[in-house]
Structure 1
Amino acid sequence: MDELRMIAGGPCRSGGDDKCGNGDCPTVYATPEPDMLAIQGYDVAHPTPEGESVVLIPENILKEAARARGWL
C-alpha cells in the first residue's frame, strides 16, 4: 500500500522505551483510503482469510492514533 502516514507508534523514542527490543515499535498508519488504517504489530497465531492478518498492538498506541485522528 502506497502513501502510509504514521499517526501513532513508530520508532522507539529512547532505549528505555523500546518494549519491542528492535528499535521499531507497533505503529498505526493513515492510508489514502477513506476510513482505513494500516496496523503494524505483533504476529498472532489465528486463522484468517488469505490476505488478512491479526496483529497485537499496545493499547496506548491505539489511543494515540485516536487522538491523532481527532476521535478523542
Structure 2
Amino acid sequence: MPYLVRLADRALRDIEAIYEFIQAAASERAAAWFNGFAEEIYSLERFPERGAVIDGGGRFFGGGLLN
C-alpha cells in the first residue's frame, strides 16, 4: 500500500522560492530541477524507508542540520 506524502506549507513556499531563483538565471534548468525534485519526493510514497527522518527542531542549511 502506498504512503501519502504531504508537504508543509513552508516547504511548498521554499520550493517555489528555489524554483524562482533558478528560473531567474536559467529557466530550462529550473523546470528540470523541479521535475527531478518532485519525482524524488513523491517516490517516497512507494519507498518510504529510502528517506531519513530529521528532527524538526533545527533548520537545514548547506547539507547539514543546524540547531
Instruction: Report the TM range for the smaller structure's normalisation.
Output: under 0.3
Structure 1 or 2, whichever has the larger Rg, is 2
Higher strand share: 1
Q: What TM-score do the two structures reach when normalised by structure 1?
A: 0.25
- Could you tell me the TM-score, scaled by structure 2's length? 0.26
